[in-house]
Amino acid sequence: MTEASKSASESRTSGWRSIQWWPAAIGMAFAAFVSIDLLNGSERGTDLAAIVVASGLVYLAAAALEIPWVSWPVFLLSVVVITLARLGLIPFDAASAMLIVAAIVAVYGVVRALRRPNRELPLQAIAMIVFGGLATVALFISPFVGALLVAAGLVAHAGWDVYHHVNNKVVVRSMAEFCCVLDTVLAIVVVLATLAG
């Protein structure tokens, strides 16, 4: 076994041992809070499309800036944007606002990469396009199918979180752990609420 492959293997093994539990607990609590309106029927699964966009944005920003801890401030910013949009305090929906921010972040990342190569940015940009596209499509089709697309996007992003947590890439592990739990719980709630509704 080469030194590089041994180091990669040790990194993956330590990924599972690095679960901190507090991010998972916060993810569970946050998911419970977000799920209240879904479970009481005042919100549909498609109303969570912005969360799918936010999930991609968090990773894209951390990759573009090459600063893993920036994932937490970007997440908090996305919560503010989603809240302001729900309260009608910004003139557009949260998903659109975050897609605009994602485009700006991607351009910044590309300009920065011209001076210094960034190996993570291309993959995160593709992921942002996939997650953002999925969320956008979900908003323009039937609420039932759209909700299931949102759930699929959340499940796919939970897998993305696991990969990045195990390999300790792009975002801090606490964010990957938090986001994995949040995405998984919300996906389950969206499916259950959609099938029951």
Residue 69 belongs to a domain = yes
Helix and strand tally (H, E) in the chain?
8, 0
| Average pLDDT score, the chain | 91
Residue 76 belongs to a domain = yes
Residue 23 belongs to a domain = no
Contact between residue 171 and residue 63 where contact means Cβ atoms under 8 Å apart: no
| Dihedral over Cα of 62, 2, 6, 162: its sign | positive
Residue 185 belongs to a domain = yes
Total domains in the fold of the chain: 1
Residue 1 belongs to a domain = no
Residue 7 belongs to a domain = no
For the entire predicted model, the pTM comes to 0.89
Question: In terms of residue numbers, what domain contains 185?
Answer: 28-34+45-196
How confident is the model over 99-122, as pLDDT tens digits?
Answer: 999 999 999 999 999 998 999 999
Residue 75 belongs to a domain = yes
Tell the residue number behind the tokens 């944005």, with chain if given.
Answer: 57
Cα atoms in the Cβ-side hemisphere of radius 13 Å centred on 46? 13
How confident is the model over 122-172, as pLDDT tens digits?
Answer: 999 999 999 999 999 999 999 999 999 999 999 999 999 999 999 999 999
